[in-house]
Amino acid sequence: MEITKASGAQEAFSEHKLCNSLSAAGAPQDLVDETCRAVTEKLTPGSTTTHIWREALRYLAKKNLPVAARYNMRYAIIALGPAGFLFEQYVETLLQAMGYETKRNQMIPGKCVPHEVDVTGEKGGECFLLEVKLHHEFGIKVATDVVMYADARHEDIERAGRPCTMWVFTNTKFTENAIQYAKCRNLKLTGWRYPKEGGLESLIAEYALYPVTVLPSVDRFAREQFARANMMLAQDIAPYTAGMLLKEFGISEKRGVKIVREAQEIISPQKAS
């Protein structure tokens, strides 16, 4: 049957593709088969990829919360913006976990004009300038013009005497031409499933830096409270009790119990009760 992609294009539904996405989220094979079957049985012609994702996520959340969190990651990253967090802030936190010394929103002089750089990072004597791009729709890919613009800024900064590597960091995918241009110009790219080893989703799982927006019980009110307190990660919430969330943020104890349990289970499944 035909389904509608995030870009609006039509394509034939592929159960194999759905199953592969579940496997990529770390679901064991029996859960992959079970979820694929449950979702496929409910599909109707014209279903959207978003609807398919929601059905799969709803099923996974009942069976295996850590897998559900990983499967929900792309939407959770997008939700950081409306929740009051900056994607640049999240990327900086991720780089720090990777051992980089970072600064955010730096004004760096170029040969011709000064440039505001989203994030700078230094590690092992190397300097990196990060151009951070958050897209709110999955169908939008980072194209060649974005990478070329970053390259031009890098060139101007380098001509002013600061040799660094330009690094374009995004929550979505890159076009093939953008990748080809970056390789030609020796630019570093990180996005969704790019590079194959070390894409955004892999880095998040490796360092367990799950945003609070992956937690099913974190509603809009809770997100706003956490944003005000700069609590961006699930690991920031894990040490709390429901009573502490009630006292400090006004989150009901019933919801707080769920939030804390989910945070603990996602960042340390083997220790969760």
- State how beta strands 126-133 and 165-170 pair: parallel
Asked if the model's pLDDT at residue 273 lies above 70, the reply is no
CA 20 to the chain's CA centroid: 19
pLDDT category, 35, cuts 50, 70, 90? very high
pLDDT tens-digit map of 218-268: 998 999 899 889 899 999 999 999 999 999 999 999 999 999 999 998 887
Which pLDDT score, from 0 to 100, does residue 133 have? 93
What is this structure's pTM? 0.84
3-state secondary structure of 267: helix
What's the CA gap between 114 and 156, in Å, rounded?
9
**pLDDT above 70 as % of the chain:** 97
Angle between helices 49-63 and 15-24 (to 10 degrees): 50
pLDDT tens-digit map of 37-84: 999 988 888 788 888 988 999 899 889 988 888 888 888 998 888 766
Which of 256, 43, 64, 46 lies closest to 54, judged by CA?
43
